[in-house]
Amino acid sequence: MKKLIFHQANTRGEANHGWLKSFHSFSFANYYNPERMNFGVLRVLNDDTVSGGMGFGKHPHDNMEIISIPLEGDLEHQDSMNNTTIIRKGDIQVMSAGTGVYHSEYNKNKDETVKFLQIWVFPNKKNVTPRYDQISLNIEERKNRLQQILSPNAEDEGVWIHQDAWFHLGNFDKGQNVHYQMKKEGNGLYAFILKGSFVIDEQEMGLRDGLGITGTNQIEIIAKEEDAEILLMEVPMNLH
């Protein structure tokens, strides 16, 4: 049976550290809501804004697939695998933490803010060898269509992770509609609005609203404004 879980933008957890403003769709750090621990294997969806010249110092992760989607500005990444890179809008970054990795993230520019989404997904394999990948995508290829940015398969479009998950980004003109077909039986879909507004399966959604959908194989998505942008995350609902 189809089920919808609607998370309005203004009900998210919020943290303001001065240099960092973060909104949490799911419980994270000092924000704890037992009703919002995860959506299947989707554990963290943080909407972060980092002030000029500031950032996250070196800190550890393990047994988590970590995906960063830059929305604005330049974010410098360094890690214990000897990677030093910069990610910007159009890039997708993934890190399989596996047996353990340290990394830091800094806003390279003193006079510009960085905005990015940090997403954590539980892996389907524990203690894998840590790995890092980053790709640049052609943003034009998501105009009035869904562009795949992540999958379980290294040979497919986008980055890959240790999980049966598929992520897509789309940028739509007003009135455009698309049907999303689930890739795997039993998976759920979490939609997150990056710009404008949409109607998804008759649910009206505005900026930074989130919607989890389970129990269906196909979802209708209609853009209600010009230049409306959406992130779709299809993930397994079973944590084991």
Spatial contact of 92 and 13, defined as CB atoms under 8 Å apart: no
Spatial contact of 58 and 24, defined as CB atoms under 8 Å apart: no
Q: What is the pLDDT of residue 176?
A: 97
Q: What is the pLDDT of residue 32?
A: 97
What is the percent of the chain where pLDDT is above 90? 97
Characterize the bridge pairing of strands 159-160 and 146-151: parallel
Averaged pLDDT for residues 80-107: 94
pLDDT surpasses 70 at 9: yes
Structure tokens at 222: 């209609």
pLDDT surpasses 90 at 181: yes
The pTM is what?
0.97
Confidence at 18, pLDDT banded by 50, 70, 90:
very high
What is the percent of the chain where pLDDT is above 70? 100
DSSP string, 100-120: -EEEEEEE--SSS-EEEEEEE
Q: Is 183 left (phi over 0), alpha (psi -120 to 50) or beta?
A: alpha
* Tens-digit pLDDT profile for residues 40-72: 999 999 999 999 999 988 999 999 999 999 999
**Residues 6+ positions from 92 with CB-CB distance below 8 Å:** 67, 68, 69, 134, 135, 137, 149, 150, 158, 159
Averaged pLDDT for residues 81-101: 95
Structure tokens at 24: 């949490």
Q: In the beta sheet, which residues pair with residue 37?
A: none
Averaged pLDDT for residues 134-148: 96
Structure tokens at 232: 């779709």
* Tens-digit pLDDT profile for residues 190-200: 999 999 999 99
Decide: residue 30, CB within 10 A, 0-12 exposed, 13-18 middle, 19+ buried: exposed
* Tens-digit pLDDT profile for residues 224-238: 999 999 999 999 999
Please, what is the end-to-end C-alpha distance for the chain in angstroms? 21
Decide: residue 211, CB within 10 A, 0-12 exposed, 13-18 middle, 19+ buried: buried
Q: Domains for the chain: give ranges and CATH numbers.
A: 13-136 (2.60.120.10), 139-236 (2.60.120.10)
